[in-house]
């Protein structure tokens, strides 16, 4: 694993570095290396925009970490549309006893993910190249996470069939997610998704909270 330089230098100034270390605990070295690589290579590799470089910790790493309290310690977690590895790589580092599938169709993003997984020494990750829909009959997950992939109706359509009955979608969304809920009702009914629960999720002091949406795939769904 490359330790990188102290990438917390790129956090917003209000960020309490000790609070960040404490929050990540044993996962901190891996997460720190991931943040350093995103900062150094993210723009040139087309993973994040230039304006994001100074906000990697609060906008991306900590934002991704906000899903973790909603995840089990073990089991099978799939991150749909991992892209740069958000939130999937952060989840894998913070949930070492879970198996994490990173589902991503773009070859160059999968190549990046493979490098990151090797570099961070994450032994609990499998990269699944392809669209989520291609895996609907391939496995059953306990949890499907996602961030910035699609509106809730499409997200439910591609994510719910990946879940075992009783499994959960844990989705990072923007504040105006309530507008996506009505258009998603039909597909949620059809695929036995529960009423979405919208949760305000915090990580460390000084970092804006984010919105997490939880949808359970109800039993009797298959
Ligand atoms: C805007 S990016 C977000 C990436 C990452 N989750 C993040 O928050 O930075 C959306 C990602 O979803 C992927 N994607 C789009 N449709 C998908 C699908 N049907 N199944 C899996 N991934 C998909 C894209 O290739 C892209 O990498």
Q: What is the pLDDT of residue 219?
A: 84
16 Cα: distance to centroid of ligand 1 (angstroms): 30
Contact 141, 168 (CB under 8 A): no
Instruction: Please report where in the chains the tokens 């999968």 appear, as a residue.
Output: 110
For 143, half-sphere exposure in the C-beta direction (CA atoms, 13 angstrom radius) is 27
Shortest-distance atom of ligand 1 to CA 104? 22
pLDDT digits (tens, 9 = 90+) for 92-151: 999 999 999 999 999 999 999 999 999 999 999 999 999 999 999 999 999 999 999 999
Residues of the chain with pLDDT under 70: 1-14, 221-222
Q: What is the pLDDT of residue 7?
A: 42
Residue closest by Cα to atom 9 of ligand 1: 86
Q: What is the pLDDT of residue 10?
A: 38
Q: Is there an atom of ligand 1 within 6 Å of 103 CB?
A: yes
18 Cα: distance to centroid of ligand 1 (angstroms): 32
Q: What is the pLDDT of residue 5?
A: 38
Q: What is the pLDDT of residue 221?
A: 56
Query: 66-216, superfamily in CATH?
Result: Vaccinia Virus protein VP39 (3.40.50.150)
Q: What is the pLDDT of residue 8?
A: 43
C-alpha 46 chain-centroid distance = 18
Contact 14, 206 (CB under 8 A): yes
Q: Among 111, 131, 129, which residue's Cα sits nearest to residue 119?
A: 111
Contact 46, 108 (CB under 8 A): yes
Q: Is there an atom of ligand 1 within 6 Å of 102 CB?
A: no
Q: What is the pLDDT of residue 127?
A: 98
* CA-atom Rg of the chain in angstroms: 17
Peptide bond into 87 cis (omega under 30): yes
Q: What is the pLDDT of residue 13?
A: 58
188 Cα: distance to centroid of ligand 1 (angstroms): 21
Q: What is the pLDDT of residue 12?
A: 52
Helix axes 178-190, 152-159, angle to 10 degrees: 30
Q: What is the pLDDT of residue 222?
A: 57
């Amino acid at each position: 694993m490359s330790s990188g330089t102290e990438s917390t230098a790129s956090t917003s100034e209000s960020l309490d570095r000790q609070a960040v270390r404490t929050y990540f605990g044993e996962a901190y070295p891996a997460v720190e290396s991931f943040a350093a690589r995103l900062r150094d290579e993210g723009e040139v590799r087309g993973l994040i925009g230039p304006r994001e470089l100074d906000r990697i910790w609060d906008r991306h790493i900590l934002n991704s970490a906000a899903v973790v309290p909603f995840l089990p310690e073990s089991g099978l977690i799939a991150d749909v549309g991992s892209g740069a590895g958000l939130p999937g790589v952060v989840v894998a580092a913070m949930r070492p006893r879970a198996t994490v599938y990173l589902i991503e169709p773009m070859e160059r993003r999968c190549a990046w993910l493979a490098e990151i997984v090797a570099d961070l020494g994450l032994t609990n990750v499998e990269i699944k190249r392809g669209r989520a829909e291609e895996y609907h009959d391939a496995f059953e997950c306990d949890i499907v996470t996602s961030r910035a992939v699609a509106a809730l109706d499409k997200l439910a359509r591609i994510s719910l069939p990946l879940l075992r009955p009783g499994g959960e979608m844990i989705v990072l969304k923007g504040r105006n997610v309530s507008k996506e809920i009505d258009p998603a009702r039909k597909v949620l009914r059809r695929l036995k998704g529960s009423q979405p629960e919208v949760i305000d999720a915090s990580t460390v002091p000084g970092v804006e909270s984010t919105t997490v949406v939880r949808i359970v795939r109800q039993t009797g769904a298959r």
